[in-house]
Every structure is written in C-alpha cells, then in structure tokens.
Structure 1
Amino acid sequence: MPQPQHRPKAGNHALSSPHDTPSRSALSTNPMASEPLILAIDQGTHASRALVLDRRGQIVARGEKEVALVRPQPDWAEQDGEEIVASIHDAVAQAAAALGGRARDIAAAGLSSQRSSAVCWDRETGVPLSPIFSWQDRRMHAWIDSLAARGDAVHRRTGLYLSPHYGASKLRWALDHLPAVRRARDAGTLAWGPMASFLVHRLTRERTFAADPQCAARTQLWNLQARDWDAELLALFGLPAGFLPRSAQTCDRWGTLVAGGVEAPLTAVNGDQSAAVFAFGWPEAESAYVNIGTSAFVQRAVLRAPGHVPRQLTGIVLADGDTTVYTIEGNVNGAGAGLEWLSNELGIDDLTARLPEWLERPAPDLLFLNGIAGLGGPFWRAAFDSRFVGDDAKPWSKAVALVDSIAFLLQANVDHMAAYVPPVERIRASGGVSRLDGLCRKLAALNGVPVHRRDDPEASARGIAYLAAGRPAEWNAGASEEVFEPQHDAALRERYRRWRALMAEATGV
C-alpha cells in the first residue's frame, strides 16, 4: 500500500478572521520577558490530560491521569465528579513538575471537556449531587422517543437532533430519582448543567458559574438563535428554571484557574470536539475536520449562521464578543467505543494493536451496521440493532468491517452536508483512532481528497490552547503532517454502496 507523504503544513484558504493577528494574542510579546506558556486541560472520557504549549503550538510538558467510566445497567454510563476533579489536579501537577521553574511562565489556561456530559451539584459547596451522566448514557431513550413529535421544533431551536445523549433528559431523571437533587432544588442551592460548568466552578478561585455556547447547547436546553436558555425547552423537559449557569462567551474572563499547584487566568472554555476544529489554527472553509476518538465527528466551519440543516447538527464553536464561528456537524458514536465493544465481544485485549496489520489485508465481504452507543447523524436512532452482515466470523474480518463502518458513517455525514457547504478540498484528521493509517486511506479513497493528519493526536488540547492564547498568528509554525493522497479503490466504494443500501433499508434514511 502507498505510504503517506510527510511534509510541512502548507498554507490554505482560512475563514476570514479580523483578529487573527499577533495583537489579538492574550500572551505578552515583550522580548525581555520569559516566553509565555499556555496550559491546556482536556478532560476526556477515559483520561484527563494537561498539556503545556508555547505560542507556536509546540508541546513542552504534559501530564495524564486515567478516569473510570462505569455502566451500572444497560444504557447507563456514569463517571464520578470528585474523581474527575482530582484527575485534573493530578494531570496539571505532573505537567508542572515536568516544567520545573518554567511553570511560573504559564500565562493563560484553557479547558476542553466532554460536551454532552451533564451533572448536578450543590452551588454553595461544589459537592456533586449526582454522577456525571456521560454522553454515552442513554437511560432515557424511551422517554425521549415519546417526544418525537416535537423533534423538528427542538432541532430548529437548538441545532441538535432530539437525542438521549444530551443532558436535558438526564437532568430530568436526576430530579425524578435523586432525593439530594430535589432537596437542593427546594433549598435553592441546586446547580446543574454541562460538566464543563461544574469543572469551572470547582477549579476557579472565584467559583465561576457559567457555560460556554457549545457545552450549554449540548444540554438541549439552549436556544441557538437567542444564545441563552430557552424557557419553552425547560418546560418541554419538565425542568425548573433558575439553576442553570449564566451563558458566557467561549473566550472570556472565566476567572483564575487553580489546579495542581498552578494558578493562571482561564481564558477559554469549549467542548472537546469543538476545540478540535482549532487544532490546526484558524479553520479553513474548504476543509472537513474529522476528529476520531471514543466517538467521531466531521465538522465544517462557517462564519454565517447556517440555519436549519436537516439531519445534521449546527452550533457555535467560537464566540468572543466580536467573532462567531459556526459548524455543521455529523457524529459517529461507535468509533473508539465500537472498537472497545468488539474487543470485549471477541475477548481480544490487543485488538487495536493488531488492526494495522489486519487493515493491510484484502478487505473481507463482511459489513457491519454500527449502532454502538446509538446511531448519530444522519440516521438518528437511539436504539439500533448493531449487526454484521455476511457469514465471515473471523476476528480480523469483524475488526476490519468495524473500521470500515466508522469510515462509512463519516462518509454518510459528508455526503449529507454537501448541499450546505462548499465542496471539500481536504480532510484534516485528528484523534487517537486517526492513528490508523488504513482508516485514513479509506477516508481519502471514499472522498477523493487528501487526508491531512497531524503528527500527534492531541487535537482538543491544541485547539483549546490556541483559543486560550488569543489565536497567535505563529501557531503551528513549522508543524508537520502526514498526507494520505486519495487512491482509486473500486472495491471499497462498492462496499460503501452496499452498506449504504443496507442502512437505508434499516433506517429509512
């Protein structure tokens, strides 16, 4: 198979940004001062990471602490709020220790987190009153199905398809089932909303109680046009008003981050996938941004409000009071989560390590209809019977079919959003699962455009650091990337055609 080219990042046509200059930077440019550093905290499903970067986007120190995800019942997925907070302190302390005396040069900090995870806590003490309900948690899918008649109205208000992955239904569950939440409501001390808001409240000296546009929206209670909480949506989900954080900008004065022995101004808060759009610097209109981790997303950035886009998600990935960047987005829930599921099903602990060799083999005829953790765009089925189609039961064939399904689901989203965005000229891939060369080659072949992959997978951390630093012009100077040029693959395209027909038959989409 052809190997990807390795070359410096070339300039491309970026979205126009009136502030994409050094003067916009939040960091000192005094040549007599020590070089300022940026702390990026990326709180993910399986770990909290702390990266320290310079103003060119080079990583100079890092720390990481794994966190648990528990599944007490089918469709439930929870994390412990105190463990998450402690893990961030640990990760930051590791990075600070690696820096030594340079830790004092940290001049700004940014926080990215799981967008759709939600939690209830006590406003006065900061103590969690519920588990963190993971974005993978679908315990309320039957109740959400009962609201299907309101789905289009919810989509038009929020930019989101009605789904149990978002926070609103799980906050309703907490109110119905957790006495501590009801007591805090009655006492007036309840706080609830995005996990990011809980983390900001716990990690800032000022105990800031606010929500950025992206994480606020993922509660499915935030009106995209009004850019604030929506009383009609609160009523729809049966939630009382008055306990959600105030709406803030992505880049704002969030307070003073105090974590792991480091103190620094917190200047940017965003969701992990939305921060990833900025990993390469200011976004390009002709690029599709594909981040593949536990879940996967394809995003196209625009500077105008995109309006209603059927069967896709729309939202704000940056607002700073002057500039707003929107995205049209398609999601795939069963990316890394699908590989984890298959590893457990087959009893192969090192399945991911074996994938590179398996992906070099001639592809099997086996197909996989991937609804792990629920079908996202453009199909939108919270409950879907994931299944292999074909008689091949060999483990390697199943693994390759699952990787194919990730590529096919991403391609289905690219195809669906094509009518609303300029033609794609390149794909910018990031995230841990993007390290699979075979997957990048499949994406290039299906789209007929090159796939550009950065030399490290830390897209969310890089993106939030870029925003926290004030979008410095020299970001990514000298960075290199691998480029997978598209190769003609008639067999892959035929498998995609067969897979797409099977999905249409199963979902009606």
Structure 2
Amino acid sequence: MARDHLLVIDQGTTSTRVILYDTKLQAVGQAQVEVLPTYPRSGWVEHDPEALIASVGSQVTTALLNARVRAEQIAAIGITNQRETTIVWDRETGRAIAPALVWQDRRTADACNRLRDKKEWISKATGLVIDPYFSATKIAWLLDNVPGARRRAEAGELAAGTVDTLVIRHLTSGEHLTDSTNASRTLLMDLATDEWSEELCNVFGVPIGLLAEIRPSTGDFGATRGLDYLPDGIPIRGVAGDQQASLVGQGCLHDGQAKCTYGTGAFLLAHTGGRIVRSQRGLITTRAASVGEEPPQYALEGSVFIAGAAVQWFRDGLKAIGSAAEIGDLALRGDPDCEVVFVPALTGLGAPHWEPSARGTIFGLTRATSMADIAHAVLEGVAFQIGDLITAIEDDLGDSLKRLRVDGGMSRSDPFLQFQADVLGQPIDRSPQVESTALGAALLAGVGIGLWPDREAAVALLQSGGRTFEPARGYEWRARALERWRRAVETTMGHYRKERR
C-alpha cells in the first residue's frame, strides 16, 4: 500500500485538530475537538495535560475515518502546537506533576520583574523579552510550587517541555525531543547556536537536564510506538510552533514576507531570512522553520495575547451572541461614527507594549452605546493591535511591508478584515486555506520524509488565490482613529502601572 498521505496534529489553545493531506498538499479529511483551558485565578490559565493527549488519539482516529485513509498510507506525521505552554512530567511514566501553564498565564509576572536588571543580556542571547509569556519562569514556578518537584528534577526524575515535546513523547513512547522554533520560545535557548544555554538555565533556575534535545524542524523526531490507534513505525518528520508553521503554510519563506494569524491571540511574523534582526521596538526575534537543508532562518514577531479570545469573551462572558461568527454582522449594525474603544488586554498587553499588569478596558461609553457598538469596538481593538505591530516591524526593518497575508479563525470575517485593511492602509491577502498552520506542518513533514524532489517543488503546491481586501478609508480617518486608540492604550497602561505601585 502506497504511503501517500501526511497526518498533521495541530494542538492549539482551545482545540486539537488532525488533518490528512495528500501529496499535493490538499486536505482530504479532518477532525477537531475543543480542549479548553481553565482559569483558576485571575491571571492564571491552565490546561489538563491528560486531556490534551487524549484528544490526539480520538481525533487521529476520527480524521482517518473521515478521510477514508488507512493508517498504513501515512508517509509521515507533522506536529504543530500552541507555543510556550509548559508541562513538567515524570520521566518514567509520562504523567504530568501539575496542570500545564498556558502561554497566556501571568502568575510569574513578579519573577520576571525581579530579573529586569538582566533584560539586555537575556534579550541579546534569546531574542526575547523577559515576560511570563515564555516558558522559563513557568518551569521554575512548577518546580518551586509542586511539593518535591525541584528535588526530583535535580535527581533526573522529571522532564519538561512545550506541547510538541509532550505529544512526541506520547507518540513515540518516550522520546524527549523538541524543534528549534519551539525551543526558541523558552528564554533558555541561545538564538545564535540553537542550543540550550547553561547560563540562562542557571539564571531562571531550570536544571538543564530537564530539557529536550533540539532538532531542526524537518529533522527526525522518532516514530510511532505503542499506540492503540496507529501502527508502530510511522516517522515524525515535521515539527514547528504554530506561528512558524503558519509562516511556512502562507508561503512566507523569504526575507521581507509577512503574515498574521488570528487565533486565540494574533501573531504577526516578518521573515528576515538568515539575518538575526534585533528589535528596538519591543518585538521578538525568533527562529523561523528551516525547510530542508537550508541554514537557520529567523523572523521578527509581534504577539497579541487576545484576538479570537476577545470574540470568545464577547460570546461567553457577555453572552451577547450565540456563536463567534455572529459578531461581524452585529458590528455592522453599530454606529460607524461611534468612538467606543476597547483595549483587549484581558491577560495583559503583549508586543510592542509588554505590560502584563494591564487589563481589558472600554472607553467612550454613553447612554446611546449599543451592544452593536461594543461588538464593533471589540473587532477594532484586535485590528488596532496589529496596526501597532506593523508600525514596530517597519521601524525595525527600516522598510515598509507592502502586503500582509492573513489566516486563522477571525480571517473568515469580511467586516473584520476590511477594518484591518483600513487601519493599516495596506492591502490584505486572505489565504485560500484560512488554517495555514497545519498546512505548514504538512509541508515540513513532506520535505522531511522526501516526498518531493526539493523544497521548491513543495512550495509550488501551496494554493494561490483567496481574497484581497483593499483599504476603503483615507489617511485622515486613519490618523484620527489611531490617535484615539493610542490615547486609550496609554491611559490603560498608566492606570494599571499606578495600581501596581
């Protein structure tokens, strides 16, 4: 039987998705299930590691059935995942010692503040900023707050990793591996060498022996073993964090190309080729996935913590709509001249502001304000954040981005993307496959296993098309809108900084 399909496991913040692709990178079947985080305290966000792993097996089985593909037809497995989310587990049993700390979790803000005197050195080594977003302080918190954990870690009994590492361990019955894109999000990897730094580990209080071996994104990550839903021996050949996988899936493989994915958060990446560009505007320098045998690749990234999560809050918290898709139509019924501004800092502000203490704030409410006006402000708030990121990236690169490629759940909304184009004053190209994250992982796995003669043959399979949104509003409108937004952000940050003091 021909091995002519690629299986991708896409483990995200709110769901696990499995997609089967053929050798032309066409999706032939999929399955998806919600796996929602919990919020035990203000600023705390957790996942149940056992639920994450259980969702993988169930969705692989369902996707194979939906695709009418036999497991024996799988040439390789690709994995893409929510990044920074951190788990510590028993090395022998694989059982987690505590809930996973999700990338949105802010409980280590004080620990980050205590390291501010080392921020320049840490930023130079890792390309990152010191923030609870990243994995290092999460690992240290688990070791210090789970009874006996630090002693067990130092004795070699525990292992730590991001979600990709946990999934690889499950699929292979024990391999402890990660890829360079995920490792670059931990504050523990030296960006220039692709290796764990003993010095960084000491600063953050993380025993280096806890960490997985780092391999290239199209490297050998072992093969399936001991599963009851897949046969032994299927190779895992493509692994990348979700945003780096999306960069590949959008065909952004060259210097100057940029994409934004609107998921639970929103993530804008601009490819910088083989150059490590150090941000002066509060952005992140990160590893991009290297495809095939190419040398290390890099990107500038801006991360917004709340994007689709703002719509979920509007749906589930305010109970203003029955489904997320309804927000676009509701927003169109709002007053177009309404000046309500929503700063969606529900779990702090990410790039380029990096204010973990900030919280969501609404400005401009009057007795005439309607729920439609608030819906409009929610969508605007997400779009304005991306505008801030574009400005920062262009300043760092010293050049303008001519176009932006977009994907992810919110990119399905025409009203939202039209407003995003208006805010940016630039055309936006919506991918024909609005879920390009899994597509990128499939391409990496196919290249890793040698399904195509070279990288160019794989990239040529990526679909063109989609829809372009051109700006419909002029410079004066954009200048007024951005000024109103910036005043709102500055006021929000000032209020919560003062409260923290």
Fold conserved between structures, TM > 0.5: yes
Asked if the contact 1:194–1:218 (Cα under 8 Å) also holds between the matched residues in 2, the reply is no
**Structure 1: distance between partners of 2:440 and 2:161:** 23
Match of 2:450 in 1: none
- Secondary structure of 1:380's counterpart equals coil
Q: Would you say 1:270 and 2:240 are equivalent positions?
A: yes
Quote the offset at 1:288 in angstroms.
Answer: 2.1
**Structure 1: distance between partners of 2:462 and 2:142:** 47
Amino acid at match of 2:276: P
Asked if the contact 2:46–2:102 (Cα under 8 Å) also holds between the matched residues in 1, the reply is yes
Fraction of identical pairs, as percent: 29
Amino acid at match of 2:285: T
Asked if the contact 2:254–2:273 (Cα under 8 Å) also holds between the matched residues in 1, the reply is no
Q: 1:457 aligns with which of 414, 430, 434?
A: 434
Please list, as runs of the form range in 1=range in 2, the aligned pairs for 1:59-74 lying within 5 A after superposition. Answer: 59-74=27-42
Amino acid at match of 2:298: Y
Question: For residues 56 and 351 of structure 1, do their structure 2 counterparts lie closer, same or farther at Cα, with a shift above 3 Å needed?
Answer: same
Amino acid at match of 1:434: S
**Structure 2: distance between partners of 1:134 and 1:153:** 26
**Structure 2: distance between partners of 1:234 and 1:473:** 38
Match of 1:92 in 2: 60
Q: 1:341 aligns with which of 301, 308, 313?
A: 313
Match of 1:188 in 2: 156
**Which blocks of at least 5 consecutive residues in structure 1 are unaligned?**
1-32
**Structure 1: distance between partners of 2:217 and 2:463:** 27
Summarize deviations over 1:9-29 as a string: whole Å, max 9, x none: xxxxxxxxxxxxxxxxxxxxx
Q: Would you say 1:302 and 2:288 are equivalent positions?
A: no
Match of 2:485 in 1: 499
Summarize deviations over 1:189-236 as a string: whole Å, max 9, x none: 21012221121111115x221221121122211111121111222122
Match of 1:279 in 2: 249
**Structure 1: distance between partners of 2:205 and 2:256:** 41
Match of 1:402 in 2: 378
Quote the offset at 1:42 in angstroms.
Answer: 0.3
TM-score relative to the length of structure 1:
0.88
Asked if the contact 2:349–2:356 (Cα under 8 Å) also holds between the matched residues in 1, the reply is yes
Question: For residues 175 and 359 of structure 1, do their structure 2 counterparts lie closer, same or farther at Cα, with a shift above 3 Å needed?
Answer: same
Please list, as runs of the form range in 1=range in 2, the aligned pairs for 1:39-78 lying within 5 A after superposition. Answer: 39-78=7-46
- Secondary structure of 1:352's counterpart equals coil
Match of 1:17 in 2: none
**Structure 1: distance between partners of 2:331 and 2:185:** 35
Q: 1:353 aligns with which of 306, 325, 330?
A: 325
Asked if the contact 1:71–1:77 (Cα under 8 Å) also holds between the matched residues in 2, the reply is yes
Q: Would you say 1:213 and 2:180 are equivalent positions?
A: yes
Quote the offset at 1:110 in angstroms.
Answer: 0.6
TM-score relative to the length of structure 2:
0.89
- Secondary structure of 1:51's counterpart equals strand
Question: For residues 218 and 136 of structure 1, do their structure 2 counterparts lie closer, same or farther at Cα, with a shift above 3 Å needed?
Answer: same
**Structure 2: distance between partners of 1:100 and 1:446:** 44
Match of 2:451 in 1: none
Amino acid at match of 1:307: V
- Secondary structure of 1:378's counterpart equals coil
Q: Would you say 1:419 and 2:399 are equivalent positions?
A: no
Quote the offset at 1:284 in angstroms.
Answer: 4.6
Amino acid at match of 2:350: G
Match of 2:288 in 1: 317
**Which blocks of at least 5 consecutive residues in structure 2 are unaligned?**
448-454
Asked if the contact 2:3–2:75 (Cα under 8 Å) also holds between the matched residues in 1, the reply is no
Q: 2:220 aligns with which of 253, 260, 263?
A: 253
Asked if the contact 2:311–2:327 (Cα under 8 Å) also holds between the matched residues in 1, the reply is no
Report the count of equivalent residues.
476
Which piece of structure 1 moves more, 234-243 or 496-505? 496-505
Q: Would you say 1:382 and 2:356 are equivalent positions?
A: yes
Q: 1:117 aligns with which of 74, 85, 100?
A: 85
Q: 1:288 aligns with which of 258, 261, 267?
A: 258
- Secondary structure of 2:394's counterpart equals helix
Question: Which structure has more RCO (C-alpha within 8 Å, separation ≥ 6)?
Answer: 1
Amino acid at match of 2:382: I
Amino acid at match of 1:322: E
Quote the offset at 1:492 in angstroms.
Answer: 4.5
- Secondary structure of 1:68's counterpart equals coil
Q: Would you say 1:432 and 2:409 are equivalent positions?
A: yes
**Structure 1: distance between partners of 2:153 and 2:324:** 45
Amino acid at match of 1:305: R
Match of 2:469 in 1: 484
Asked if the contact 2:4–2:22 (Cα under 8 Å) also holds between the matched residues in 1, the reply is yes
Amino acid at match of 2:11: Q
Where do 4+ consecutive residues of structure 1 move more than 6 Å? Answer: none
Summarize deviations over 1:60-99 as a string: whole Å, max 9, x none: 0111222131111111111111111110011111111223
